[in-house]
């Protein structure tokens, strides 16, 4: 089959870009050649540059396509006057590269503006316009320089009924002009608008954070798109791509059917503008290479190639920025002395600009250079939670980390410790500040904000007063380390800043503080900026709460302090105030300790002694103490704060901090790597050998008493020298262990999997209110009580069985959580996993029976009983095994009755749009009714053969669950699903017999669990809808052939269901190889 040739048309604003760059003096030649000089070259810009990039990209990849667009021959570029084509002007400079200080790179040092036609006139040059309406991709490069008002330059394909892909690259002023009015009158199904985030920020009323965290930026953007009237026409756009320099982009997809969706593509290790801030100079054409790359990907894959196109486009634009401009060495040169900007200098420039024979020395790097460099840059992607209300952009403090690790936190945490990294964190932002690495959004935002403050402060040659900020955190959380690493990331060689620290709790009187300020002043007088760390600034003074605050006010406000009658200026300085008794900024301003109790209230006789006194009196007292200590005045002088999270969970009103276990895992891994005695634990792949119980306890113990210091001490106290495995015997003795953790809890967790090591934090009581034993026993007793309904035995026996459930679930890669909502949760447990679970249950009971025989001396037990418990599970006959399989089938209903549910420990993909789920469930049920009736069944023999709305609620919910799980089922045969777009050629899904069988087995497993969770049980004979019994609640290998056909039919219907919903299935690996 001959592949169709694609047609691409480019139209838009064109520029002639002038560049002046330095040329070093020659060793010989005329006198003027012996001096440093400047060289002026000209290159096509705007839509002409974009056209050039696209042509190079499709040629490089061998894509069958023709590109039509503006072309400006380089030899004639100098003939175009500013009245014809707008001229841009830039001065280039030679910059050292970050990796090789000897190599220089040519980039833009200064943009010198534009030269264009007279005011209120448009450029007169008109490139040829494509009148071909049969175009696959139309690219509009609207730079706001006249093209948007010149209808005669617009491609004919905009009127096409063939619905081409339209890429609209938009610049300031946004959403203005005749072209946008035309486009927004009738939004094409495949319209893609590309805008720059900085341009969007210039729109009145738009708040879009920058360089704090990708999480916040993502939530801000989708919120503004939903809320702002100024962006209404942009919100209607089917596809919106907002770029954030070379570091990231957000794709917002407005769907005609179903819910909108949004995705963020980002560099997981860098924030917005971070890469460019480490590169001296800039480049033209960054958005053009991004747009060209996106267009190339769309030619290859259609609309579904958007995300990959964005990733490669960002990588290519970053590579272009890094490489810089290139100079040809074989062209003629005209050199002009730049040091004398006289009329003669200007005349010489004007003269050579008219030469037709002139050849450029300057060029953009070749595509091969760009593509080679781009391979160094990797980008992650994640879906974005859309706003649930229009009052608050982010009421629940959404995290990409939560989004990506919701079901796999325990797995991710353990993998981090064992291997140093985890696959589950591939799409999670990880920021580094010096030697500090953090994945927590709150910390990332705090550190980023403070880094920006310090950088801005250092750029001001004459600040009015010191820069002041505060840092809070529990003991051992790393407050001083974190701040010092921020400093190191800004001034690694301490060329400008000098650190000095004081512990305020050790000061006896005001004179100690005066002495400290004199030392700070001495540093300022030595031409360095003092970076002053005031530790435990919130200490009491003379028994007054926060008594030192008032002495900091004048130095903070005016940059001076008083010693006797003399006032001394401090000069430039940065003050960092580290809390010692308040662990968060919120605790500080509320004057509360970490335990939530108010601090240093007036004596009890000053307050109503009655226990029932109004709470407002206490609150007023707390507020008065803070005001008397000049707390509000102190806070008003701060320019920021950091709440350092540390390795312990920091639960707040709006955040349960469920991801603390991942934060703790990263700290633990670093500590083990640094400990020299632990070196024998690592293999050649840097994988660590550690007992599962030790690891589980280290990650899940409620609290390290002294934060990171306790984690460090625990490792240092362990006997690891000469060992190749960190096992239980290496741990310190219990009394020493108890110095840094609750030793009883630690060893309890080390023994085996517990409910509290598997449940997420928000599903557990507050550890400050409930002990670990009470937490665990309450859950075990609840599950055991539920178990009594399903399994016979004493309550103690049932408690023992309930206690062991987490162990078995972990063994089959399943977790447990509290039931949320009313929707039915169907376990995802395969037939093979049922066998594993059943074997583990048999082995547990065997251990108990053997122990009973030994402890009770029952040598007279029946021979058959003894032989039974001597056998391995595999030696049992099938009927005997069935007893244990049936126990497994009862576990999910038991947990459900206790308020818990089972889920697979993996990132789950589901169809989440409720409208799509309902429509497909109805479609699926209709097909089911047709098939069953064709087999002679009626509503009398099968009560499910009724209209969908008349089905019982549990059956309807089961249909919904079946539809939601389609992506998960397909993942078992390496398929993914995506929205099918009109611009794509739809690919028919053809399942092989092997794939159909594999999915049918999975479908039967799902059906069995669905029935069990609805109260059905196995019973031989006919299916009984009244008593909810079925002979088909059995493993696949016991299912009759004719009944298996039901599952085969359900699987064969999947391609039709996907098509009905607007999805298509694909195999990512096979597409990459195409």
pLDDT in tens, 450-481: 999 999 999 998 898 999 999 998 888 888 88
What are the CB-based long-range contacts (under 8 Å, 24+) for 917-920? 917/960, 917/963, 917/964, 918/960, 919/1060, 919/1061, 920/963, 920/1057, 920/1060, 920/1061
Predicted confidence (pLDDT) per residue in 690-710, tens digit: 999 999 999 999 999 999 999
Predicted confidence (pLDDT) per residue in 369-419, tens digit: 999 999 999 999 999 999 988 888 898 889 999 888 988 999 999 999 999
Q: What residue spans define the domains of the chain?
A: 6-374, 404-434+659-751, 441-643, 772-904, 914-1073
* DSSP per-residue codes, 1024-1062: BTTTTEETT-S-GGGS-HHHHHHHHHHHHTHHHHHHHHT
Contacts of 344 (CB under 8 A, 6+ apart): none
CA 1005 – CA 1038 distance, rounded (Å): 12
What's the whole-number mean pLDDT along residues 83-111?
A: 86
Average the pLDDT over each of 315-324, 407-416, 611-620, 768-777 and give the range with the smallest value.
611-620
Using the predicted structure, report yes or no on whether residue 329 has a pLDDT greater than 70. no
CA 1032 – CA 884 distance, rounded (Å): 17
Buried/exposed code over 944-955 (b: 16+ C-beta within 10 A; e: otherwise): bbeebeebeeeb
Domains 772-904 and 914-1073 are alike in CATH topology: yes
Using the predicted structure, report yes or no on whether residue 1012 has a pLDDT greater than 60. yes
CATH, domain range 441-643 = 3.40.50
CATH, domain range 772-904 = 1.10.490
Using the predicted structure, report yes or no on whether residue 335 has a pLDDT greater than 60. no
Predicted confidence (pLDDT) per residue in 242-285, tens digit: 999 999 999 999 877 667 889 999 999 999 999 998 899 999 99
Q: Are 699 and 427 in contact (CB under 8 A)?
A: no
Using the predicted structure, report yes or no on whether residue 768 has a pLDDT greater than 90. no
Average the pLDDT over each of 179-183, 272-276, 603-607, 968-972 and give the range with the smallest value.
603-607
Predicted confidence (pLDDT) per residue in 789-827, tens digit: 999 889 999 999 999 999 999 999 999 999 877 666 788
* Cis ω before 173 (30° cut-off from 0): yes
Q: Are 906 and 407 in contact (CB under 8 A)?
A: yes
Predicted confidence (pLDDT) per residue in 132-166, tens digit: 878 889 999 999 999 999 999 999 888 876 788 99
Of 328 and 745, which is predicted with more confidence?
745
CA 1002 – CA 1048 distance, rounded (Å): 11
Under the banding of pLDDT at 50, 70 and 90, the label for residue 360 is low
Q: What is the mean pLDDT of the chain?
A: 86
Query: pLDDT value at position 1066?
Result: 81
Q: What is the pTM of this model?
A: 0.85
Using the predicted structure, report yes or no on whether residue 745 has a pLDDT greater than 60. yes
Predicted confidence (pLDDT) per residue in 1051-1062, tens digit: 998 888 888 777
Query: pLDDT value at position 955?
Result: 84
Query: pLDDT value at position 480?
Result: 87
Average the pLDDT over each of 654-658, 887-891, 971-975, 1003-1007 and give the range with the smallest value.
654-658
Indicate the class that CATH gives domain 914-1073. mainly alpha
Of 765 and 546, which is predicted with more confidence?
546
Contacts of 341 (CB under 8 A, 6+ apart): none
Cα–Cα distances in Å, from 838 out to 794, 833, 878, 887? 21, 8, 12, 7
CA 900 – CA 385 distance, rounded (Å): 25
What's the whole-number mean pLDDT along residues 199-228?
A: 94
Beta-ladder partners of 195: 242
As given in the structure block, the two tokens for residue 816 are: 């447990």
As given in the structure block, the two tokens for residue 156 are: 């004919």
Q: Are 701 and 747 in contact (CB under 8 A)?
A: no
How many helices and strands (H and E) does the chain possess? 38, 30
Average the pLDDT over each of 542-546, 586-590, 759-763 and give the range with the smallest value.
759-763
Query: pLDDT value at position 983?
Result: 42
Predicted confidence (pLDDT) per residue in 527-558, tens digit: 899 999 999 999 999 888 899 999 999 999 99
Predicted confidence (pLDDT) per residue in 926-954, tens digit: 988 988 898 888 888 888 899 999 998 87
What's the whole-number mean pLDDT along residues 427-443?
A: 90
Query: pLDDT value at position 395?
Result: 87
Query: pLDDT value at position 998?
Result: 92
Under the banding of pLDDT at 50, 70 and 90, the label for residue 596 is very low
What dihedral do alpha carbons 862, 865, 866, 870 form, nearest 10°?
Answer: 170
Query: Can you name the CATH fold of 6-374?
Result: 3.40.1190
Please report where in the chains the tokens 């690694």 appear, as a residue: 492
Using the predicted structure, report yes or no on whether residue 21 has a pLDDT greater than 90. no
Under the banding of pLDDT at 50, 70 and 90, the label for residue 332 is very low
């Amino acid at each position: 089959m001959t592949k169709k040739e694609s047609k691409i048309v480019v139209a838009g604003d064109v520029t002639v870009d002038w560049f002046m760059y330095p040329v070093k003096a020659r060793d010989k030649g005329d006198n003027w050649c012996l001096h440093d000089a400047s060289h002026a070259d000209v290159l096509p810009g705007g839509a002409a540059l974009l056209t050039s990039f696209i042509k190079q990209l499709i040629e490089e990849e061998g894509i069958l396509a023709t590109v039509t667009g503006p072309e400006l021959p380089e030899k004639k570029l100098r003939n175009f006057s500013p009245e014809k084509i707008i001229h841009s002007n830039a001065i280039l400079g030679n910059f050292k590269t970050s990796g090789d200080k000897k190599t220089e790179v040519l980039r833009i040092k200064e943009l010198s503006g534009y030269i264009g036609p007279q005011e209120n006139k448009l450029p007169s040059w008109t490139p040829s316009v494509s009148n071909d309406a049969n175009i696959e991709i139309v690219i509009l490069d609207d730079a706001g320089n006249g093209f948007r008002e010149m209808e005669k330059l617009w491609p004919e394909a905009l009127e096409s009924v063939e619905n081409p892909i339209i890429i609209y690259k938009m610049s300031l002023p946004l959403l203005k002009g005749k072209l946008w009015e035309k486009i927004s009158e009738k939004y094409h199904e495949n319209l893609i608008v590309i805008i720059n985030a900085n341009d969007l920020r210039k729109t009145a009323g738009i708040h879009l954070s920058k360089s704090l965290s990708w999480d916040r930026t993502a939530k801000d953007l989708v919120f503004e798109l939903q809320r702002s009237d100024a962006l209404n026409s942009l919100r209607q756009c089917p596809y919106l791509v907002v770029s954030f320099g070379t570091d990231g982009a957000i794709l917002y997809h407005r769907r005609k059917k179903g819910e909108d969706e949004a995705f963020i593509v980002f560099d997981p290790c860098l924030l917005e503008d971070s890469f460019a801030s480490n590169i001296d100079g800039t480049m033209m054409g960054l958005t053009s290479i991004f747009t060209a790359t996106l267009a190339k990907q769309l030619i290859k894959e259609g609309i579904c190639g958007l995300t990959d196109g964005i990733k490669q486009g960002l990588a290519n634009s970053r590579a272009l920025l890094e490489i810089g401009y290139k100079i040809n060495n074989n062209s003629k040169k005209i050199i002009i002395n730049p040091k004398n900007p006289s009329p003669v200098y200007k005349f010489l420039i004007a003269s050579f600009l008219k030469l037709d024979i002139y050849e450029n020395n300057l060029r953009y790097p070749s595509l091969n250079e760009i593509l080679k460099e781009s391979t160094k840059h990797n980008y992650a992607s994640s879906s974005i939670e859309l706003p649930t209300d229009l009052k608050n952009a982010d009421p629940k403090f959404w995290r990409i980390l939560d989004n990506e690790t919701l079901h796999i936190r325990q797995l991710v945490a353990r993998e981090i410790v064992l291997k140093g990294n985890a696959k589950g964190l591939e799409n999670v932002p990880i920021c580094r500040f010096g030697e500090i690495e953090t994945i927590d959004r709150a910390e990332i935002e705090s550190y980023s904000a403070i880094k920006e403050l310090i950088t801005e402060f250092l750029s001001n040659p004459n600040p009015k007063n010191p820069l002041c900020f505060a840092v809070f955190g529990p003991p051992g959380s790393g407050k001083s380390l974190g701040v010092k690493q921020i400093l190191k990331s800004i001034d690694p060689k301490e060329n400008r800043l000098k650190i000095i620290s004081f512990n305020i709790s050790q000061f006896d009187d005001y004179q100690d503080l005066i002495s400290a300020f004199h030392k700070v002043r001495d540093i300022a007088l030595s031409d360095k900026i003092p970076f002053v760390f005031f530790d435990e600034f919130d200490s009491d003074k003379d028994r007054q709460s926060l008594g030192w605050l008032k002495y900091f006010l004048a130095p903070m406000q005016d940059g001076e302090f008083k010693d006797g009658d003399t006032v001394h200026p401090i000069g430039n300085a940065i003050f960092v105030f580290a809390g010692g008794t308040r662990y968060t900024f919120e605790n500080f301003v509320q004057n509360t300790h970490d335990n939530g109790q108010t601090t240093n209230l007036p004596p009890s006789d000053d307050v109503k002694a009655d226990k029932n006194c109004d709470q407002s009196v206490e609150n007023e007292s707390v507020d008065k103490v803070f005001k008397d200590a000049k707390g509000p005045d102190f806070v008003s002088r701060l320019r920021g704060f950091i709440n350092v999270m540390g390795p312990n969970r920091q639960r707040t009103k709006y955040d349960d901090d469920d991801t603390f276990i991942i934060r703790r895992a990263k700290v633990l891994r670093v500590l083990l790597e640094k400990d020299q005695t632990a070196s024998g634990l690592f293999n050649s792949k840097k994988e660590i050998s550690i007992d599962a119980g030790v690891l589980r306890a280290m990650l899940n113990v409620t609290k390290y008493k002294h934060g990171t210091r306790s984690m460090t001490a625990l490792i240092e106290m362990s006997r690891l020298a000469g060992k190749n495995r960190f096992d239980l015997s290496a741990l310190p003795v219990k009394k020493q262990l108890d110095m840094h953790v609750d030793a009883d809890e630690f060893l309890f967790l080390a023994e085996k999997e517990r409910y509290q090591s598997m449940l997420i934090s928000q599903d557990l009581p507050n550890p400050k209110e409930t002990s670990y034993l009470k937490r665990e026993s309450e859950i075990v007793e609840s599950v055991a009580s539920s178990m009594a309904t399903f399994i016979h035995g004493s309550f103690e026996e049932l408690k023992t069985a309930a206690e062991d459930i987490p162990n078995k679930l972990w063994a089959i890669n399943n977790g447990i959580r509290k039931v949320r909502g009313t929707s039915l949760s169907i376990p995802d447990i395969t037939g093979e996993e049922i066998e594993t679970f059943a074997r583990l249950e048999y082995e547990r009971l065997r251990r108990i029976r053997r122990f009973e025989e030994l402890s009770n001396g029952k040598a007279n037990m029946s021979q058959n009983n003894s032989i039974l418990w001597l056998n391995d599970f595999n030696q049992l006959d099938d009927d005997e095994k069935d007893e244990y399989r049936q126990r497994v089938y009862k576990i999910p209903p038991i947990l459900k009755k206790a308020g818990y549910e089972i889920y697979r420990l993996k990132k789950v993909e589901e169809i989440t749009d409720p409208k799509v789920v309902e429509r497909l469930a109805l479609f699926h049920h209709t097909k089911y009714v047709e098939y069953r009736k064709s087999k002679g069944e009626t509503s009398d023999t099968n009560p499910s053969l009724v209209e969908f709305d008349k089905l019982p609620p549990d059956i309807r919910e089961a249909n919904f669950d079946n539809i939601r799980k389609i992506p998960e089922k397909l993942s078992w045969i390496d398929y993914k699903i995506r929205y099918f777009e009109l611009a794509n050629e739809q690919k028919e899904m053809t399942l092989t017999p092997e794939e159909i069988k594999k999915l049918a087995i999975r479908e039967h497993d799902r059906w069995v669990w669905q029935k069990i969770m609805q109260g059905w049980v196995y019973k031989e004979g006919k299916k009984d809808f009244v008593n909810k019994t079925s002979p088909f609640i059995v493993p696949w290998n016991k299912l009759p052939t004719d009944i298996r056909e039901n599952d085969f039919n359900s699987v064969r219907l999947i391609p039709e269901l996907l098509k009905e919903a607007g999805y298509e299935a694909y195999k990512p690996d096979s597409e990459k190889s195409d």
